[in-house]
Structure 1
Amino acid sequence: MSRSIDYGNLMHRAMRSLIQEVLEDIAAHGLPGAHHFFITFDTRQDGVEIADWLRERYPTEMTIVIQHWYENLEVTDEGFSITLNFGNQPEPLVVPFDAVRTFVDPSVEFGLRFETNDQDDEDDDPEAGMVEDAAEAETPHKDADVVSLDSFRK
């Protein structure tokens, strides 16, 4: 029997671990400088907890922005929970790391994308399901580059 190394699975675990570590630091110390995050997640994933009206509005995918106003950020090995402001209405969210599709910090042009086998046609619209508060909507940002392992090879 031939054995092989599952690099894809190892990379996914490492990238999710990186997100966990970043969010744990933010939960403990707050966002430094201009850092902020766009996190896109699959709203259909087991363990995702969002208000019914948000699930109706974003039935497959939702992008949240962690920047100006957030509360109760808690991070576990499985995912994170946070309260965000949706039109002056605070809403708690629970997002397992397995539901995360993209994690972007445009302030430093950093981004991670988790490929899935069942990409929907909705992925053609990069702003589908994006949620921002009024202050963030006015903030221009550059698209972040997705990290390639080739850039770290010597």
Structure 2
Amino acid sequence: MSDRIDYGNLMHAAMRELIRKVLDRIATTGLPGDHHFFITFDTTQPDVGLADWLRDRYPEEMTVVIQHWFENLEVTHDGFSVTLNFGDRPEPLYIPFDAIRTFVDPSVEFGLRFETQQIEDEEDEGYDEDGPGPNVLADSSGHTEAEVVSLDKFRK
């Protein structure tokens, strides 16, 4: 048993569960109002399901939009599958939740980013081996990230 609470991984799990619940609702009821999603994911992850021509075009990372035209959205505990249109060419995708790097709904200026760093960077910066915690984006452009603030600033 570890002698510390792994807040970073707990937050990542909670954020992925939030995405799972949102997508599950959309699969059942459709997109409400102006909501739509930009989802960036790691195409190198082994469980990602992607046509070869898309993997060739996006060898490391890809962003998809779930908005006007999508079909067959199915959500599981580990990820989701969806058919999207690429230049009048419908393509099925499977995206594991662990492969997601960002999830943004610009209609309400909501976004999540999952950050990872190399072990060498973590040691240099004083991070533990589990890496830094997640950031919550304040807007869809990604300009504002969460910031750790000392409570001493607010004490009298």
Q: Find out whether 1:103 has 2:103 as its counterpart.
A: yes
* Distance in 2 between residues matched to 1:2 and 1:41, nearest whole Å: 30
TM-score (norm 2): 0.76
Matched, 1:38 2:38: yes
Residue aligning to 1:143: 141
Cα distance change of structure 1 residues 18 and 97 upon mapping to structure 2, 3 Å threshold: same
Please state how far the C-alpha of 1:79 moved relative to its aligned partner. Answer: 0.3
Q: What displacement does 1:46 show?
A: 1.7
Is it true that 1:18 corresponds to 2:18 in the alignment? yes
Q: Distance in 2 between matches of 1:75 and 1:6?
A: 27
* 2:48 pairs with 1:52: no
Structure 1: tracts of 5 or more residues without a match: 119-141
Residues 109 and 144, structure 1, Cα contact 8 Å, conserved in 2: no
- What is the number of equivalent residue pairs in this alignment? 128
One-letter amino acid of the counterpart of residue 37, structure 1: F
Q: Which letter does structure 2 place at the counterpart of 1:115?
A: E
Per-residue deviation, 1:143: 2.5
Query: Which of the pair has more CA radius of gyration?
Result: 2
Output the TM-score relative to the length of structure 1. Answer: 0.77
Distance, in Å, in 2 between the alignment partners of 1:146 and 1:27 is 30
3-state DSSP of counterpart to 1:15:
helix
Structure 2 Cα separation of the partners of residues 147 and 21 of structure 1: 23
**Distance in 1 (alpha carbons) for counterparts of 2:112 and 2:144:** 6
Aligned sequence identity (%): 69
Point out where structure 2 has 5 or more consecutive residues left out of the alignment. Answer: 119-139, 149-156
Q: CA deviation at 1:9?
A: 0.5
